[in-house]
Amino acid sequence: MISIHFIVNPIAGTGNHGFSETFLQDYFDESQYKLTVKCSSYKGHAIDLTKESVNQKATIIVACGGDGTINEVASTLVNTNIPLGIIPVGSGNGLASNLKIPQNVKKAIEVIKNNHQTKIDVGCVNEHYFFSNVGFGFSASVIKNYEHLQKRTLYYYIKASIKSYKEFNKKRNIEIEINELESFANPFLIFISNTNELGYHVSLTPKASLQDGLLDVLIVPNLNNAKMLLFGIFMLLKKPKTLKEARCFQTKAIKLQRNQGDYFEAQLDGEFLKIQESSIEISINEQALIIIV
């Protein structure tokens, strides 16, 4: 008997996905599959639900939500032999898009039933895992504003980006040193990615791969508002490197040191995070997660 546990975020995306055991039973033969559906009730709850499912000896654990839910479920499955399934019902769904997992629920269920497994790399920021990307500067500001709006659709993402654009250069006082070599006062963006997609088919690191054992890094120093706008256009064209100030490279690890400012503001797989430590180690764990694609 294959025991599949579904960890469902009821507010992901538009929040209209309506998963229940009855809904799923139509797709899984009860002589072969035992289904368990659990809904998260608050941020972080999917971590505890997944730990419980691991203890209950689930064969497969499926994250039903967006990149935030996937992060919570997958973080618990790193370096275990339990494969992660994904039903991408979030708003951006960056990781699922990179993995070519269909956003159509029925097709995503078919992928889980076919159970074709592969291993992907996992990023690590101090004690946190990330599967898609981690960003500092403008990308963290957008996510902070997005979370304040409390609605998770493209329209609100654009609204949050416009707010960040208007306020970004007004209130910053941070200096970040990279790999003890170079320091940047109020950098526009430090973006470190495992995937080639941010969500909504937008990419800052089009050449990144989940299976190359490397992190793709994009660093953009402080920019004036006109250059910020220009960068936005290049980003939509998937050519962020066209901006002459932008620098890209691949690495296995990177160290950030905060020389000024009270904390790091970051976004980790699309969730806002304040990091109090003055130094951050970002690295890659090769092939540390089994995933169904």
Ligand X SMILES: Nc1ncnc2c1ncn2[C@@H]1O[C@H](COP(=O)(O)OP(=O)(O)OP(=O)(O)O)[C@@H](O)[C@H]1O
Binding site for ligand X (CB under 6 A): 9-13, 40-45, 65-69, 72, 90-93, 152, 199, 270-271
Q: Which is nearer to ligand X, 155 or 249 (CB)?
A: 155
Q: Which is nearer to ligand X, 13 or 135 (CB)?
A: 13
- Cβ 123 to ligand X shortest distance, Å: 16
Length of the chain: 293
- Cβ 142 to ligand X shortest distance, Å: 12
Cβ atoms of 187 and 176 within 8 Å: the answer is yes
Cβ atoms of 178 and 255 within 8 Å: the answer is yes
Q: Which residue is nearest to ligand X, using beta carbons?
A: 66
Q: Which is nearer to ligand X, 72 or 216 (CB)?
A: 72
Question: Nearest-5° angle of CA 266, CA 270, CA 273?
Answer: 30
- Cβ 176 to ligand X shortest distance, Å: 25
Q: What's the gap between Cα 152 and its chain centre?
A: 14
Q: Which is nearer to ligand X, 96 or 256 (CB)?
A: 96
Q: Which is nearer to ligand X, 83 or 267 (CB)?
A: 267
Q: Is 112 exposed, middle or buried (0-12, 13-18, 19+ CB in 10 A)?
A: buried
Rounded Cα distance, 77 and 288, in Å: 9
- Cβ 242 to ligand X shortest distance, Å: 26
Q: Which two tokens stand for residue 82?
A: 């339990």
- Cβ 8 to ligand X shortest distance, Å: 9
Q: State the virtual CA torsion across 107, 123, 272, 9 in degrees, nearest 10.
A: 30
Handedness of CA 130, 132, 136, 139 (dihedral sign): negative
- Cβ 227 to ligand X shortest distance, Å: 27
Q: Which is nearer to ligand X, 132 or 172 (CB)?
A: 132
- Cβ 70 to ligand X shortest distance, Å: 7
Phi, psi of 163 (to 5 degrees): -60, -45
Q: Which is nearer to ligand X, 9 or 76 (CB)?
A: 9
Cβ atoms of 186 and 173 within 8 Å: the answer is yes
Cβ atoms of 208 and 238 within 8 Å: the answer is no
Angle, helix 67-77 to helix 45-55, in steps of 10 degrees: 40
Cβ atoms of 72 and 46 within 8 Å: the answer is yes
Q: Which is nearer to ligand X, 87 or 228 (CB)?
A: 87
CB atoms inside a 10 Å sphere around CB 277: 13
Give 217's strand partners.
192, 249
- Cβ 14 to ligand X shortest distance, Å: 8
